[in-house]
A and B are shown apart, each in its own frame.
Chain A
Amino acid sequence: MRAQAGMKLLTHNLLSSHVRGVGPRGFPLRIQATEIRVSPVDFNPDFVTRMIPKMEWTALVEAAESLGHLSELPRQLKEGYEKDEDFLRKVHHVLLEVEVVEGTLQCPESGRLFPISRGIPNMLLSDDEATS
Chain B
Amino acid sequence: PSPPSPGEPPSPLPAGARYFCTVGRGLEPFLTREVGARLAATEVEYVSGKVFFTTNCGLTMLKQLKSAERLFLLLKKQPPLFISSRSKGKVFNEIQRLVTGDPLCWVRAVSIWRSLLELEENLPPEVAKPSKRKTGENENIITKKLKIEQTRVMPGDTECQLQKQKNDKIEEHKDLTTEKENFQEEKSENDGEKEVEHHQGKLTFRVSCRCSGTIAKTFTTEEVGRVIGIALIKQFGWKADLRNPSLEIFIHLNDIYSVVGIPVFRLPLASRDYIKVAGLRSTIAWTIASLAEINVGAVVLDPMCGLGTILLEAAKEWPNASYLGADVSDSQLLGACDNLKSAGLMDRIELFKFCVTELPLHSESVDVIISDVPFGKKFKLGKDIKSILHEMERVLCVGGTIVLLLSEDLHKYLQDYKESNITWNSSKDNTNEFKIVKYVNAEEKNRIQENVSPSFQDDRQEWLDKRPLFGTLVQMECHKVSLGRTEAFISKYKKIHDSELQQPS
Contacts and interface: CB of A to CB of B under 8 A. Distances in A.
Q: Do A and B bind each other?
A: yes
Closest 10 CB pairs of A and B: A50-B297, A5-B346, A123-B354, A122-B353, A123-B360, A14-B365, A18-B360, A47-B320, A120-B351, A47-B297
A41 B345 CA distance: 11
A20 to B, nearest CB: 10
B68 interface: no
A123 B358 CA distance: 9
A49 interface: yes
Interface in B409-439: 428-429
A111 B23 CA distance: 52
B273 interface: no
Interface stretch (B276-284, B333-341, B471-479): B333-341
A10 interface: yes
Interface string A1-44: 01001011011001111100000000100000000000101001
Given A7-B350, A132-B358, 19 more contacts: A2-B341, A5-B340, A5-B347, A5-B350, A10-B322, A41-B347, A44-B296, A44-B320, A47-B321, A51-B297, A54-B297, A119-B351, A122-B352, A122-B353, A123-B352, A123-B353, A125-B355, A131-B429, A132-B428
A118 to B, nearest CB: 8
B322 to A, nearest CB: 6
Contact of B324 (A11, A18, A51): A11
A46 interface: yes
Contact of B352 (A10, A18, A46, A120): A120
B359 A18 contact: yes
Given A5-B346, A10-B322, A120-B337, A16 B362 contact: yes
B358 A130 contact: yes
A121 interface: yes
Contacts of B355: 124-125
A11 B362 CA distance: 11
Interface string B126-161: 000000000000000000000000000000000000
B81 interface: no
B328 interface: yes
B296 A46 contact: yes
B491 to A, nearest CB: 24
Contacts of A121: 352-353
B425 to A, nearest CB: 14
B427 to A, nearest CB: 9
User: Which label, helix, strand, loop or mixed, suits the secondary structure of the B interface?
Assistant: loop
Nearest to B367: A54
A116 to B, nearest CB: 10
B387 interface: yes
Contacts of B324: 11, 14
A14 B352 contact: no
A124 B360 CA distance: 9
B188 interface: no
B357 interface: yes
B474 to A, nearest CB: 23
A120 B353 contact: yes
A41 B299 CA distance: 17
B387 A49 contact: no
B325 to A, nearest CB: 10
B361 interface: yes
5 contacts: A10-B322, A18-B359, A54-B299, A123-B354, A124-B354
Nearest to A50: B297
A54 B365 CA distance: 7
Nearest to A125: B358
Nearest to A56: B362
A56 to B, nearest CB: 8
Given A46-B297, A49-B297, A14 B353 contact: no
Interface string A53-79: 010000000000000000000000000
A132 B357 contact: yes
Among B296, B347, B366: residue with most chain A CB under 10 A:
B347
A37 B358 CA distance: 28
Among B321, B353, B387: residue with most chain A CB under 10 A:
B353
A10 B357 CA distance: 23
A64 B347 CA distance: 18
A16 B322 contact: no
A54 B337 CA distance: 26
B442 to A, nearest CB: 26
Nearest to A96: B347
Contacts of A14: 299, 324, 361-362, 365-366
Contacts of B328: 124
Among B340, B346, B357, B429: residue with most chain A CB under 10 A:
B346
B320 A18 contact: no
Contacts of A10: 322
Among A11, A47, A120, A123: residue with most chain B CB under 10 A:
A120
B320 A46 contact: yes
A44 B318 CA distance: 13
Contacts of B429: 131
Contact of B353 (A16, A44, A46, A124): A124
Among B321, B353, B360: residue with most chain A CB under 10 A:
B360
Among B299, B340, B350, B429: residue with most chain A CB under 10 A:
B350
Contacts of A27: 362
A119 to B, nearest CB: 7
A124 B324 CA distance: 15
Contacts of B350: 5, 7-8, 11, 119
Given A5-B340, A121-B353, A18 B358 contact: yes
Nearest to A7: B350
A131 B361 contact: no
Among A10, A14, A39, A125: residue with most chain B CB under 10 A:
A14
Contacts of A118: 337
